[in-house]
Structure 1
Amino acid sequence: MTLSATQPPSERERLTIARPDSAASPFTAIDVLQPARDIDGGYGARLRALRTAAADFKSEFLTTGKPDYVETFDLTGVPYPTKFGLWRAAVTPAPLLKITNRLTVIRWTETGGRVRTLLFEPSDGRLGANTPYLVKLYNSLPKQIRDREITTHATVKSVLANLGIKPQDVDYLAFDHLHTQDVRRWIGTTTPQPDLSPDAPVEPYFPNAKLLVQRYELEAMADLHPLQVPWYQPETYRDLRPEGLLPLDGDVLLGPGVAFLSTPGHAYGNHSLVLNTDTGVWVMSENVIAAEAMTPEHSKIPGLARWARSIGQEVILNANTIETTAEQYNSIIIEKAIADPAQADPRFLQFFPTSELTGLFLNPGTKPTFSHLHLKHGQF
């Protein structure tokens, strides 16, 4: 089967995507933000309403408590086009910048005493590299540059082994969106896979885990728009174990101080992880790739502050597919309104990009002014 970005959707074969179990969601729906998203009057009117709704959400969210433990772990550093990550704003000759992808491990205790474990951004780097856009990008780089731009710090398995977390103890997996992600090894398949297990279905590494994903994004895999095609591996979602999937419909509270908010834009199925910690509220997604993209007036990256000021925009989008640019802007404002100021430098916010801009001498003019690098809350 071949999916081509040049074929109109009507001429592409529609994939059959694994259908999840029909069990009801175990999470509490959050209804504060959706009315503001739905109001008439266009994106400008919604933006004004969302600023107020985000403040209302934050007030309620702070009363839910805190998770027991949160910590980030570096997985990989990868190259990414500057024109996407610092959309239109950066003044640099560097066509690429570098981003660091991180795993976040979250644990909380339910009312009945059961401990839950969520892995946020558990990227399988080896399989993710098969994404069409990444294949093209990596193959275009000379080896000496590729070796500098692409670095491996750890794997999901090694992080969990060091923490002492057994695969069967992981309850949930999630990504802010499914660009580049292939989860077959994590949640298993119902049929043999020629590249992984040609003679038998893939056994799940996390046998009890469910992938939390916005329903729209999962269903959209069946017939991607040409703008989306280079960034997904839809065929890898065809044979997933249905019991390993748990679709979400918008905003949900997972546990004390742990929530997902629908923040479409970078990808239409994007959602942001919101955490209440000892230092205040943190937000994680890839809607922007640097904390300073939330407050560009304080950025020393050449071009960012001037561009934001001249164009009258208060954030710098991470825009590769540009599925719904205005909606992404509004989503970032939600994130900006919720995140607390960073303790290390209150000019910046506790917004932790799931792919954080990382300085590299090969990419002049892209060194971040401020980086979070690591987050830890509570004890494991």
Structure 2
Amino acid sequence: MRPGWTTSEVADLRQLGARIDAFDGMANVSGGPGARLRWARARATAFRAEFASTGTPDSIDTCDLVTLPYPTRFGLFRASRAMSPFLSITNRMLVIRWSESDGRRRVLLFEPSDVELGRKTPYFAALSARVPRPLQGLMVTSHGTVMAHLARLGVTPEEVDYLMFDHLHTQDLRRWVGTSVPQEDLGGAVKPLFPNAKVIVQRDELDAMADLHPLQQPWYQPKAFEALRPEVFLPVEGGRVLGPGVGIVATPGHVSGNQTLLLNTSTGIWASSENVIATECLTPEHSRLPGVAAWAREWGQEVILNAISLESTVEQYNSVILEKALVDRSQSDERFLQFFPSSELTEAWTNPGTSPTFSHLAIHHRR
């Protein structure tokens, strides 16, 4: 990420919807992190009705991309008693479509990971180098590509308005938005596959990528961002209502610029991020994962974090409480919430003791 980008160099934020100011000032709440936690819960509870009143999008489709290994000690922060050092998570893309008040159609891709280029992320590249190739086929399952899923849904690349990730760990966007200079590993200049798309990202994360801390470095590919044109980014500060029933809120902690997708659907409000890897991590008292319920009870912790870089564990905990207070309960099993992990814990015979108690697998919505 090139330091020194200015507001005039990036895309115009006026094309996005209204700011969400309900959570402004959280960092400045007096009284410490406990006071901020109570503040976040109260504000989120109050904001639910306001967000629901914005309506619902036209459609939401869920597209499986890849299932891959992930360290158990990260995904189930200190709580798991499973013998397996790895669990499996499935990364999924959401395709959200809505209509503006003037009739314009919008398409947002949430978590459209370029899985092939994502393998170059330092952590996963090092893991792959240590695992014999025959075993990699047991650990990694590809389900479909971003472009193939869009073709199946009848969405053309030119129709895509926005790309968004909860955070930019592992991401390489060069093929999606093009490059300003030739790329040796991609065979030269890269034309954008999504020529009209802008990338919605928190400004805090762009700033962090300009000067990564050692705890962050294993999970980012900053060199991949140096060739991107600044104008492809829509750097936001805080929350936005993007369209009817489609919003984002800032949820710092997992990374400094983490953000959560909010969706109002026919079953109520959902949230999606990678702050936790299973919806049962928001209600661990109902989890059958070995050790999780007991650990939460012993330590008096209400949620089980997905803890990779530990940039700000307290703030991440508070962000998950905010997410928990925003969403509705699952209609399939009311013990669990409509939190949809952008990378969801997935049962795998190779990883004993890590099978989820409950999985959403998808969000389906048609208005």
Deviations 1:310-358 (A, max 9, x none): 0000100000100000000000000000111001100000000000000
The Cα shift of 1:150 comes to 0.5
The Cα shift of 1:16 comes to 4.4
Unpaired runs of at least 5, structure 1: 1-13
**Where in structure 2 are the equivalents of 1:106-117 lying within 5 Å?**
106-117=96-107
Which of 23, 27, 30 aligns to 2:12? It is 23
Deviations 1:254-301 (A, max 9, x none): 011000000011111110000000000000000000000000000000
Counterpart residue identity of residue 192, structure 1: P
Which of 336, 351, 354 aligns to 1:348? It is 336
SS of 2:185's partner is coil
Q: Supply the distance in 1 between the matched residues of 2:362 and 2:4 (Cα, whole angstroms).
A: 36
Maintained 8 Å contact 2:11/2:233: no
Aligned equivalent of 1:80: 70
Aligned equivalent of 1:268: 256
Aligned equivalent of 1:336: 324
SS of 1:119's partner is strand
Aligned equivalent of 1:128: 118
Aligned equivalent of 1:288: 276
Maintained 8 Å contact 1:251/1:260: yes
TM-score (norm 2): 0.97
Q: Supply the distance in 1 between the matched residues of 2:26 and 2:257 (Cα, whole angstroms).
A: 18
Q: Supply the distance in 2 between the matched residues of 1:110 and 1:136 (Cα, whole angstroms).
A: 45
Which of 84, 96, 100 aligns to 2:90? It is 100
SS of 2:109's partner is strand
Deviates more, 1:365-374 or 1:236-245: 236-245
* Percent of residue pairs identical: 55
Counterpart residue identity of residue 237, structure 2: D
SS of 2:116's partner is helix
Aligned equivalent of 2:190: 202
Which of 158, 178, 183 aligns to 1:188? It is 178
Maintained 8 Å contact 2:11/2:231: no
The Cα shift of 1:22 comes to 5.1
Q: Supply the distance in 1 between the matched residues of 2:366 and 2:209 (Cα, whole angstroms).
A: 37
**Where in structure 2 are the equivalents of 1:127-146 lying within 5 Å?**
127-146=117-136
Q: Supply the distance in 1 between the matched residues of 2:84 and 2:146 (Cα, whole angstroms).
A: 31
Unpaired runs of at least 5, structure 2: none
The Cα shift of 1:67 comes to 0.4
SS of 1:195's partner is helix
Q: Supply the distance in 1 between the matched residues of 2:169 and 2:11 (Cα, whole angstroms).
A: 25
Aligned-CA RMSD value: 1.3
Which of 204, 207, 212 aligns to 1:216? It is 204
Is the aligned partner of 1:228 residue 2:179? Answer: no
The Cα shift of 1:15 comes to 4.9
TM-score (norm 1): 0.93
**Where in structure 2 are the equivalents of 1:62-73 lying within 5 Å?**
62-73=52-63
Counterpart residue identity of residue 255, structure 2: A
Deviations 1:164-223 (A, max 9, x none): 11110000000000000000000011111111133xx31000000000000111121111
Deviates more, 1:361-370 or 1:33-42: 33-42
The Cα shift of 1:92 comes to 1.2
The Cα shift of 1:97 comes to 0.4
Given the superposition, is the C-alpha separation of residues 226 and 15 from structure 1 closer, same or farther in structure 2, using an over 3 Å criterion?
farther
The Cα shift of 1:35 comes to 2.9
